Amino acid sequence: MAILKQLATLLVVIGALSWGLIGLFDFNVVTAIFGSGSTLTQIIYVLVGLSGLWQLVDWLKSK
């Protein structure tokens, strides 16, 4: 379970950095690397979103 938590944290950080680059420079790292609308790009977005949800649930449980 600890590895899953660390992986989720890593993906959330990657997602946050990606959004930061989009906001600051209008540069999307994920689409630059994997292409716009590719299946791999969609999988990455889903994994980052699920990681954020995992972190939110974990945070709410700890309160």
pLDDT tens column, 11-62: 999 999 999 999 999 999 999 999 999 999 999 999 999 999 999 999 999 9
What's the pLDDT score for residue 45? 95
Over the stretch 5-24, which tens digit does the pLDDT of each residue have? 999 999 999 999 999 999 99
Specify burial of residue 48 (Cβ count, 10 A radius: 0-12, 13-18, 19+): buried
What radius of gyration, in Å, describes the C-alpha atoms of the chain? Answer: 13
Domain ranges (residues) in the chain: 2-61
What's the pLDDT score for residue 13? 95
What's the pLDDT score for residue 11? 95
